[in-house]
Amino acid sequence: MKWMGAKILIVDDEPQIRKLLRVTLEAHGYSTVEAGTGKDGIIQASMSRPDVVVLDLGLPDIDGTQVLLQIREWSSVPIVVLTVRDDEAIKVLALDNGADDYVTKPFSMRELLARIRVALRHTAGTTDEPILILGALTLDLAQRVVERSGQPVKLTPIEYDLLKVLAINAGRVMTHRQLIKEVWGDQNYESALHYLRVYIGHLRKKIEDDPTRPKILVTEPGVGYRLVTPD
């Protein structure tokens, strides 16, 4: 197992959730550290040096977003947030403040494990490779060449830049604001959001089998987009 022994810090105030996560993660070869409060989570993040943090946003002592911000002051450790709040604004806030991904409670362990694997891949620096192979898609970052199933895909500069950001962050949700900043810089958010949606539509026509039912470039409603690849 590629990530055997990676250390996962679980920050959640519900003992049954911590137990479920501990048992499942350790069964998949990970080691775990637990914290039941935000303050303890911050301490454990600094002392145990985890490879990934799984952080519940609904903590009893400190709001999980504050825990996230404090950890981000000194650490770039990947953080996957858990939340029972089906509130798009909360998800966007967490991602824009440094979270790498999110999973909404109740969640499937299969989904959470996939998010953890993505986080670990990014930690390992796999995105520094000049050629990205993502299922049927191949991106040569040095030559700015994109192929789909071995056939060249003609993209405009903006389409390429947008696909590149999504591909480098493959498997992770990217918020509208993050994508706009990466591709258009400090543009007016509302006007740029329209262009983002237009270019996402253009990309889907070029990389999806059925652009009306995307399976590669999927929408995270109210949050952003995620480039999905075979695990």
* Domain limits, the chain: 7-124, 127-227
Residues 87-141 pLDDT 10s: 788 889 999 889 999 998 888 899 999 999 988 887 765 444 578 888 889 999 8
Nearest to 184 by CA among 195, 172, 173, 175: 195
Fold held by 127-227: Arc Repressor Mutant, subunit A (1.10.10)
Q: Is the pLDDT of residue 14 over 50?
A: yes
Architecture per CATH, domain 7-124, reads as 3-Layer(aba) Sandwich (3.40)
Residue 138: in which H helix or E strand, if any? strand 137-140
Q: What is the pLDDT of residues 50-80, one digit of tens each?
A: 999 999 998 999 999 999 999 999 898 999 9
> Average of pLDDT values for 168-176?
91
Q: What percent of the chain has a predicted confidence (pLDDT) above 90? A: 67
| Average pLDDT value for residue range 205-212 | 94
Cis peptide leading into residue 106 (ω within 30°): yes
Question: Which residue has 């500069």 as its token pair?
Answer: 157
Please provide the DSSP assignment of 6-45 as one string.
-EEEEE-S-HHHHHHHHHHHHHTT-EEEEESSHHHHHHHH
